[in-house]
Amino acid sequence: MYIKVEKSVPIQPFNDQDNLKPAEMARLLSESPTIDLRNVTSQAEVVSYLQSLIAHYFQIPAELVTPEADLIDDIERHIWARELDVPFEEVDYGRILCGKDEEGNPTGGLSDRGLLMSVFMVMDLANGVGVSTVDNEAEATIEAEEDEFGSFFDCRTINELANILEAVRVRLPQ
Domain boundaries, the chain: 2-87+120-171
Determine the Cα–Cα distance for residues 164 and 48; give it in Å rounded to an integer.
Answer: 14
Helix (H, G, I), strand (E, B) or coil at 77: helix
Whole-number pLDDT of residue 109: 82
Kindly provide the residue ranges of all beta strands, DSSP E only, lying in 15-137, ordered along the sequence: 95-96, 99-100, 106-107, 110-111, 131-134
Q: What is the mean pLDDT of residues 123-147?
A: 95
Task: Give the pLDDT confidence of 88-125 residue by residue, as tens digits.
Answer: 999 988 778 888 889 988 888 888 889 999 999 999 99
Q: Fill in the amino acid letter for 172.
A: L
Task: Give the pLDDT confidence of 10-38 residue by residue, as tens digits.
Answer: 999 987 666 788 898 899 999 999 999 99
Reported pTM: 0.90
Whole-number pLDDT of residue 169: 97
High-pLDDT (> 90) share of the chain, % = 79
Contact criterion met (CB below 8 Å) for 10 and 151: no
Contact criterion met (CB below 8 Å) for 156 and 61: no
Whole-number pLDDT of residue 17: 65
Q: Fill in the amino acid letter for 90.
A: E
Residue 100 region, left (φ>0) first, then alpha (ψ -120 to 50), else beta? beta
| Nearest to 11, CA basis, from 46, 45, 55, 53 | 53
